Amino acid sequence: MSTLLAPTQSPPEASLDSGTRTAAPAPRNVDERGGAVATGDPPATAISASRLGKCYHVYEKPADRLKQALLRWRRQYYKDFWALRDVSFSVPAGQSIGIIGRNGSGKSTILQIIAGVLAPTTGSVTIAGRVNALLELGAGFNPEFTGRENVAMSGAIQGYTSAQMETLIPRIAAFADIGDFFDQPMKTYSSGMYVRVAFAAAVMMKPDVLVVDEALAVGDIFFQQKCMRHMRDELAGVTKLIVTHDMGSIASLCDRCLVMHKGRLVFDGSPAEAIEFYTKMVHTEEFQKALPIGKRVSPSAPVSSSDGPRGFLDSRVAADAWIDVDQESRGGAGEVTIERVAVTDRRGARLATARPGDRFIAWFLVRSDTPKKDLIFGASLIDRTGTSICGDNSLSRPGHPVEFSSAGRYLVRMEYEWPRLQPATYTVTFGCGEGNDPLCHVIQCWAHNVAAIAGISPDLPIHGVFTNPLREFDVVAIDDGTLPTGNGGGVGTS
C-alpha cells in the first residue's frame, strides 16, 4: 500500500538543534563466525522518526557571521534554509527501506541524523540497536593508519573486545580483498579500495541498523555484485536504509521506498510505485521547467469513448482494448499528451497474454497543442519491481523525424515482437519525446504502467530474466598437442 503525503508546515519559531535523537543499543554478543548477534527479543520497531526538521543558517557573506554573533539583538543577518521539514516515518525491525529523490531533497540529511552525525532542529528520532553507517567515502578512517588498524579502531569504538576483533578482522580482510594493501596506510588507497574496506567493516560487524549513502555505486562491477549479494542474503534480518540513485538497487534490495522532494517526504510505498512516482515527478518538473514562458500547458483530461476519429479507430482496435490515461499516470512537458493507449494483437483484439515470438501492437492516441517536429515514440516493458526490462523507440526505424504539421489528435501504431522473457506479468509504459537522440531528449509525455500483459512460455525454458538464444554449438576432441595457446589465436599447437 502506498501513501501520497501532503506537506504540513513546521513551526517557524523552532530554535536550531532543539530536536532529539535517542539510541537504545541492544546487548550484543559475537557468534561463532565473528558476527554480532543481539541478545533477547529484537524490538518491533527499529527506527521511529517524528516530525523531523533540519534548518541551517545561510549567510550572504562571511562578515554577516560576525555581525550575527555581535549584533544579533539588532537584527537577523542570515536566512533560514530547511533541509528537512516535518518528516515522519517508522521502520519495522528487519525491513529494508530505500530513499530516493533529487540532489538536495534531504535524503542524506535523514541518514546523518539517524547515524548521529547531525542533530535535528525539530522533531525526534529513536533508534533501537547499534547503527553502522556508510555516509561518505572513508568517513571516520585515519588516512595515516593501515586498513587493519582502522578496522580495529572502528571495532573498539563500537564496543568489540580484542578477542572478538581477532575473529572479525580476517573475515573483513577477505571480503575487502585488497591483498597486502590491507596493511598499508589508507592514504595510499584508491577510492575503490577505500570503499571495499569501509563496506566490509560495516557489514561484517553485523549491526542492528545499516545506513548506506551511495556507497554501493563505488567499486568495480564484481565488488558491487558481491555487496548486493551480501546485503540480500547475509544481512536479510538487518534493518537497512539505503540512499541511491540506482533504481535497480532500490527494486532488488528494498521492501519499501520513500520519495523525498525539497526536504519533504512526498511518497511512501512499494519500490515499484515509488520509482514510478519519482520518475513522473522528475519528468514533469524538469521538462515543464525547460519550456519557454507562455508555452507551458496543463495535461488534458482523458477523452471519452465518443471522441476522436471513430471510424478510423474502430477499424483497427477493439473498443474494449482502449485504456484512458488519467492525469496521475502522466509525466513530462505536456505539449504532446498521451490520452489513450491500447495493446493488441494484429487483429486489433486486446492482448492479455503473449508468448515468445508473438507480435503485439502498441497504439497511442495523442493530442498535440502545437505543430511539432522531431517527435519520438516508444514503449517499454516493466517488471513487478519497477525495473525496465526492454523497449525501443521510433528512432531505430526509418521514417524519422515524426512531424505533426498542426495541432490536433494523432494515432500512432508501433509493432513489437514479444521477447523470450521469464513468465510473469509485465506492465507497458508508453512514451513520447522530442529530439534526435534515442536516449537523451525532452520527455513530452510518459504514460506509466497503464497496460498489463502476462508473459507465458509453455514450451521454452527461460534462463534468467530473458534467454539469449544459442545459435551454434560444437564439441570436438583434442589432445595435448592442440591445446589453446592463450594468445588469442584459437586452438593450435603450443
Which has more confidence, 122 or 313?
122
Return the CATH superfamily for domain 3-269. P-loop containing nucleotide triphosphate hydrolases (3.40.50.300)
Mean pLDDT for the chain overall: 81
Q: What is the pLDDT of residue 63?
A: 87
Amino acid at 317: V
* DSSP single-letter state for residue 301: P
Amino acid at 12: P
Q: Torsions phi, psi of 172, nearest 5?
A: -65, -45
308 has pLDDT over 70:
no
Backbone region of residue 128 per phi and psi (left: phi > 0; alpha: psi in -120 to 50; beta: other values): beta
Q: What is the pLDDT of residue 2?
A: 58
Q: What is the DSSP string of 236-298?
A: TTSEEEEE-S-HHHHHHH-SEEEEEETTEEEEEE-HHHHHHHHHHHHHHHHHHHHSPTT---P
The pLDDT tens digits of the residues spanning 111-166 come to: 999 988 899 999 999 999 888 888 765 667 889 999 999 999 988 888 888 899 99
Q: Torsions phi, psi of 450, nearest 5?
A: -95, -10
Cell numbers describing residue 175: 571480503
36 has pLDDT over 60:
no
Q: What is the pLDDT of residue 446?
A: 92
For residues 86, 87, 93, 99, the Cα torsion angle rounded to the nearest 10 degrees is -170
Residues of the chain with CATH 3.40.50.300: 3-269
pTM of the complete model: 0.74
The fold of 277-455 is: Coagulation Factor XIII; Chain A, domain 1 (2.70.50)
Predicted confidence band at 473 (pLDDT cuts at 50, 70, 90)? Answer: confident
Residues of the chain with CATH 2.70.50.60: 277-455
Q: What is the pLDDT of residue 295?
A: 41
Predicted confidence band at 16 (pLDDT cuts at 50, 70, 90)? Answer: low
> Locate cell 535524503: which residue?
107
Cα→Cα distances 329→33, 384, 422, 448, Å: 49, 17, 26, 5
